[in-house]
């Protein structure tokens, strides 16, 4: 395997030298000129935010590496699908993407509510699961930049090999969505566009806060840990941003709760933010218990299911969450 990869590296480097000797450059893929990519009607389109910044530039990534960039990258490969929405929002769709911890990039494009509008716009090479980085697939994608997050499992073992394919940029997965948007904008020279996305998303969140903060309702947001338990989602700042109130006893930090603990909270609304089929199956399994059936949210039909893509907490996810919360909470 190592011998095969070495041969492929040599071929790629040779091709790169030939390309560098040519004075002709392939034109960038044109993008449509309107829309945010989250329309509910009409054909989905990439936003026209083509204004870019000066080149060359040197960026410092989340791993402390200084990376010189001669110009806007044309073929970006990302090793986790969480970052698909950032580059789509910036109008610079990636050439290749791995999936998330579950599933592939193609599955994300076909099922994630935030990404479905973009599914037919660009052809994206699927790099497989994010849990097992496929070097050969990355090499085949011929990227001029590779993007993932610091701490990506298994990355350290192949970091040097990835860098032989293209510069590797590490983002801070734990940073705010605003800062991650800025970081992605910096990579593609769209700093001003990143600022515009942030402003528009913050306005949507603020509008939701104005409505939701007036509601005298408690909301508990959960994942289901693979359909086995109630796991808290979000953070205090997340709840505060949207103007929603957690029930008494609800704690953050991805805490796990028993059915009895959730019943004691007795929230007005229970929102599962997970793979919808998994979450519905989990809720169905609780119906054998009178504890579940007697909760206010259950009796009043206020158990809701939000798509797992909202757990990226990225700009598209935050804007869509704002809209869905306003619709859901009466």
**How would DSSP label each residue in 39-87?**
-SSS------------SSEEEE-TTS-EEEESS--SSEEESSGGGHHHH
Contact indicator for 272, 232 with CB cutoff of 8 Å? no
Q: What is this structure's pTM?
A: 0.81
Which residue in 147, 111, 144 sits closest to 130, CA to CA?
Answer: 147
Q: What is the mean pLDDT of each successive set of 10 residues along the chain, which is 330 residues long?
A: 45 38 32 35 43 80 95 96 95 93 83 86 86 94 97 94 97 96 97 97 98 97 92 95 97 95 98 95 96 98 96 96 97
Q: What is the DSSP letter of 150?
A: T
Which residue in 45, 29, 315, 56 sits closest to 187, CA to CA?
Answer: 56
At residue 226, the pLDDT reads: 84
At residue 101, the pLDDT reads: 77
At residue 36, the pLDDT reads: 37
- What domains are defined for the chain? 57-189 (3.40.50.1980), 198-328 (3.40.50.1980)
At residue 2, the pLDDT reads: 44
Cα-flanking dihedrals φ and ψ of residue 271, to 5°?
-120, 120
Question: Reduced to 3 DSSP states, what percent helix, strand and coil does the chain have, rounded to the nearest 5?
Answer: 45, 15, 45
* Side-chain half-sphere exposure of 285, counting CA atoms within 13 A: 13
Inter-axis angle of helices 315-328 and 177-187, to 10 degrees?
A: 140
At residue 100, the pLDDT reads: 86
| Neighbour-count burial of 251, counting CB atoms closer than 10 A to its CB (0-12 exposed, 13-18 middle, 19+ buried) | exposed
Alpha carbon 240 to chain centroid, angstroms: 21
Task: Write out the two tokens for 266.
Answer: 């007795």
Task: Write out the two tokens for 104.
Answer: 């592939």
At residue 26, the pLDDT reads: 30
């Amino acid at each position: 395997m190592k011998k095969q990869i070495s041969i492929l590296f040599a071929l790629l480097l040779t091709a790169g030298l030939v390309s560098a000797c040519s004075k002709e450059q392939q034109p960038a893929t044109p993008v449509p000129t309107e829309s945010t990519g989250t329309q509910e009607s009409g054909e989905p389109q990439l936003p026209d935010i083509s204004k870019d910044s000066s080149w060359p530039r040197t960026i410092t990534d989340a791993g402390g590496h200084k990376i010189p960039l001669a110009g806007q990258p044309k073929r970006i490969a990302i090793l986790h699908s969480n970052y698909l929405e950032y580059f789509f929002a910036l109008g610079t769709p990636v050439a290749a993407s791995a999936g998330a911890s579950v599933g592939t990039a193609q599955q994300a494009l076909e099922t994630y509510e935030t990404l479905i509008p973009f599914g037919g716009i660009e052809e994206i090479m699927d790099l497989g699961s994010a849990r097992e980085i496929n070097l050969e697939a990355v090499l085949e994608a011929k990227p001029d930049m590779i993007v993932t997050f610091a701490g990506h499992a298994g990355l350290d073992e192949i970091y040097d090999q990835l860098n032989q394919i293209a510069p590797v940029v590490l983002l801070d997965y734990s940073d705010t969505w605003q800062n991650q948007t800025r970081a992605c904008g910096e990579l593609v020279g769209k700093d001003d566009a990143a600022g515009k996305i942030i402003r528009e998303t913050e306005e949507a969140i603020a509008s939701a806060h104005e409505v939701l903060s007036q509601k005298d309702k408690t909301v508990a947001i959960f994942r289901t840990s693979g359909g086995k338990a109630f796991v808290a989602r979000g953070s205090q700042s997340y709840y505060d941003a949207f103007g929603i109130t957690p029930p008494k006893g609800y704690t953050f930090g991805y805490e796990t709760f028993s059915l009895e603990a959730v019943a004691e909270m007795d929230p007005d609304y229970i929102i599962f933010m997970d793979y919808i089929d998994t979450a519905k199956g989990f809720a169905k399994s609780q119906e054998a218990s009178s504890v579940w059936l007697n909760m206010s949210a259950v009796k009043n039909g206020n158990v809701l299911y939000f798509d797992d893509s909202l757990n990226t907490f990225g700009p598209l996810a935050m804007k869509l969450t704002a809209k869905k919360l306003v619709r859901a909470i009466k």
